[in-house]
Every structure is written in structure tokens, then in C-alpha cells.
Structure 1
């Protein structure tokens, strides 16, 4: 199942990141550029680094200049994340381009890649909630609360994985069809963001 493949790759990325646990560490992709695994690993690495950017920027004692630099990094990371989602959707569009779509086929509210994007974030939530549920310096009450949350996250992971695999299967068999729109983000575009346009 594709969801299992993706989740395992996400976990590899998360575990590799936490060897150094440093947002400035070098990135190396262990998968070939020709394979979907390459895109999945890269996607989760972006998510993992941004997860930790978001932790750092919430430090109430952060230097304002450092916070601004970090905000720009988060903006760039969001753009990279969107680009990777579109690359993953392109993989599915190409893979199923010859499918005979049924006349009564329906469209989904989100593309496969945006559902996979949610699975990547969920993998991060599960990893960090598991850390909290087993943190030896935390109170028993804290660990129990986090364990209960972890169990909900694991149930959500199972449900989302099933939904992703059902969606991909429906596309493969012509019961659903893909229609992908570019995100057309406006805030990074000098022609579309009036603040940037005014500073040109």
C-alpha cells in the first residue's frame, strides 16, 4: 500500500534528522531522483526542519532580528513544501494518465499528494508525542495525557492511511479522477503582493 511506503519513508527522514537534531544540518537524500521515494523523503525532511523552526521561533526570548531571519526561512520552507506536493501529484498524474476514467467518476476534495502531506505532518506528531509519553523527566500525569493523545494520533494515522489508499485505488480503477490546481501562492510573488510590489 502506498500509505505504508510513504509513512515508513517519513519515519526514516524523521529519525535521520534527530540523529543531530539541528535545523542547519546538511541534507542528503538516500533515494534515487527517479523514484517517488526521493520526493517523499525530501517532503518530510522539509516538514521536519520546519517543525523545529516553529519551535525555535516561539521562544519568548528570541532576538527580534533572529526571529525575522527565521520567519523568512519558514516562508521559504512553506514554498518548498508546496512545490514538493505538486511534484508528488505530478507523479500520480503521469502514472495514471492512461486510465480509462468511468463516465460516473467523481472528483475528490483533495489530491493524493495533499493527503500525503497530512500524513507526513502526522508522522511528526506521532514521533514527538511518543517522545513526550515516554519522557523520563516528566510527571506521570503528563506522560499519561500524552499517551492518550498518542493513541488518538495512531488511530488518525490508520484512518488517513486507509483513505489515501482508497483514493489512489479509485483513481487507478477510473472511479475517481485527478484534477490538480497550482497553489498560486501570492505572498511570495513580487507582482501579486502589494507590499513587495511597492518595494520594487
Structure 2
């Protein structure tokens, strides 16, 4: 799949979310359940909901107990996001598992899925910066700043999309090595977080 198709899926997901613009809205993923499209849409839905949770928690008037609930949701969302990234990498591991890397093959700085993760977040930045660049309640100076930022983000998406396409082509040809390191988040693990296992051991 080309990065342009990924961008289309992310843009569709973000537009679907903003039909209700609510963090508790049901996900409207109409792609076949076992398809890569479905996986990418679900990944971006998690990112989109978390984006808005991050907005909510920054409200200076939010009550402490409400902020704690949102913080817990964000923590859970980060774990879901990591799990989805690994599922995307599983897809590529399966796709390129039979390819023997060439002698000169290089290791990339990140797996395809983590690059796609950045592409998903970039789609969100573009959507929201486009909104800011279209406001009618601010002065021209701010609008021009926002438009400049939007142009930078659009260029960044072009470059990242090209880089992802080139990475996948290199993996297919054996010019790069498909190598994945699983995330080892320690603070979520009751066996690795001292605060959690101390409580467990102390009853």
C-alpha cells in the first residue's frame, strides 16, 4: 500500500470523528475487519480521540478528579496505540518474511509502523492547523502564521510519505532489513514498575 492511500484513510477517519467531535463517539470503521485498511483506520481513530483528550486535560478550569480520569484514559490510549503499531509491523513482517536481505542491506532507524504512526499524527496536525488557518475571529498576522505552519506540515507529509514508500520498496527488494524491536514499556507492567509490584508484594 502506498502512503497516499494511508493518508486518504487517515483523512477519512478524522473527518468521520468530527461529524460528532466527541471523545466518546463510536468508531465508524466500515473497512473489512481483517483488512489492512481497517487496521490503519482503527489506529488513527485512537490517535484522534487521544488528540482531543489531550485538549480537554489542558483546560485550566478542569476539576482535579476529572483530569485524573482523562489522564488514565490517555495512559490506556497510549498503550492501545503502541499495540496497534506492533500489529502494523506484524503485517509487514508477514509480508516481507520470505525476502532474503542483500549483502549490502541496511537497517532502518525505525520500523515501517512507527513511520506510519508519525504519518497518522501528521494528518491530525494538518486537519487542525487548517482549521486554525481558516478562522474568522483572529487578526491577519495570526492567520498568516497559521497558514505558514500549515504549508510546512503539508510539505512534511509529502516528504514523510515519500520516505515511507521508499522504505517499503527497499524492504521488498532486500535493500533494507525488516527488523522490529517490541516496545518494552515498564511503567504499565506490574512486574517492572516498582510502585506496582511493591504494592502487590505488600498485599
- Pair in the same fold by TM > 0.5: yes
Q: Give the Å deviation of 1:41.
A: 0.2
**Larger deviation, residues 9-18 vs 93-102:** 93-102
Q: Could you tell me how far apart the structure 2 residues matched to 1:2 and 1:77 are?
A: 27
Partner of 1:37: 37
Show structure 1 runs of 5+ residues with no match. none
User: Number of residue pairs matched?
Assistant: 200
Show structure 2 runs of 5+ residues with no match. none
Q: Tell me the secondary structure at the aligned position of residue 122 of structure 1.
A: helix
Deviant stretches of 4+, over 6 Å: none
Q: Give the Å deviation of 1:138.
A: 2.0
Partner of 1:53: 53
* TM-score, normalised relative to structure 2: 0.96
* TM-score, normalised relative to structure 1: 0.98
Superposed CA RMSD in Å reads 0.9
Partner of 2:101: 101
Partner of 1:91: 91
Q: Tell me the secondary structure at the aligned position of residue 49 of structure 1.
A: helix
Q: Give the Å deviation of 1:100.
A: 2.7
Partner of 1:186: 186
Partner of 1:138: 138
Matches within 5 A, 1:124-135: 124-135=124-135
2:47 touches 2:121 (CA, 8 Å); kept in 1? yes
Partner of 2:20: 20
> Is 1:157 the equivalent of 2:160?
no
2:14 touches 2:124 (CA, 8 Å); kept in 1? yes
